[in-house]
Amino acid sequence: MNYLRPLKFKKKNKKGSFFDIFLIIGFIFGFVAMSVFGIMLYNKMNVALEEVGIRNSSNATINVMEKTHTTMMSFDYLFIFLFGGLIIATIVGAFMIESHPIFLVVAILLLFVAVFASYLLWNAYNKMIDSNEDFEDAASELTIMPKVIDKLPFITLAVMIIIIIVMVAKFKTGNIGE
C-alpha cells in the first residue's frame, strides 16, 4: 500500500561555475560582431548587384534579396531571446553548484575581471564600428544589439551580482535534495 515513495535525488555531475559569465560576454560580442559583419556584407552585395544591374533584373533576385534582408534583421530580435536564455541558464546553473562561502572572495575577484573583460570587448566593438563607415551603417540598422553591447559592462556586473547572491543565499538556506 505504499503508493507514494520519497523522491531520491541522484548527485549528478553538475557543470557550471562563476566562469559562465565569460561565456555570456563572449557570446554577446561574437553574435553582435558577426551580425554587423553580415549586414555589412549584405549591403555591399546589394550595392554591387545594383551597379551591375542584376539586383532588379528578375523577381527571383528581388525575392532572394528581400528574404535575406528580413532574415538579417530577425537576428536582432533572436538575439534578445538567446541572450535572456543564457542569463537564465547561468543563474539556474549557479543555483545547482555546491559552493562554500569562502568562494565569495573568489567570486568578487572574478566580478572585477568579468566587468573589465566586458569593458574591453565593449571598447573593441566601438572601435570596430568607428573604424569603418560600412560597419557604422550596418550597426545603425540594428536596434537591440547595439543597446545591449553599449550596456555590456553594466549587464555583466548585474548578472554576476545575481549569480553571487544566488550562490551565497543557497548556502545559507541549505542544499536542495538532501
Q: Output the nine-digit C-alpha cell for 35.
A: 551580425
Three-state secondary-structure class, residue 79? helix
C-alpha to C-alpha distance for 129 and 144, rounded to whole angstroms: 16
pLDDT above 70: percentage of residues in the chain? 83
Task: Provide the CB-side half-sphere exposure for 136 (13 A, CA).
Answer: 6
The rounded percent of the chain whose pLDDT value lies above 90 is: 17
pLDDT digits (tens, 9 = 90+) for 39-90: 999 888 888 888 887 766 778 778 888 888 888 889 888 999 988 998 888 8
**CB–CB of 49/55 below 8 Å?**
yes
**Cell triple for residue 149?**
553591447
| Mean of pLDDT values over 129-134 | 88
Distance CA(56)–CA(97), nearest Å, equals 57
How large is the average pLDDT for residues 24-31?
A: 88
Query: How far is CA 170 from each of CA 101, 149, 173, 174, rounded to the nearest angstrom?
Result: 10, 31, 5, 6
- Looking at residue 122, its pLDDT comes to 93
- 135 has a pLDDT exceeding 80: yes
The amino acid present at 58, given as its one-letter code, is S
8 Å CB contact between 104 and 160: no
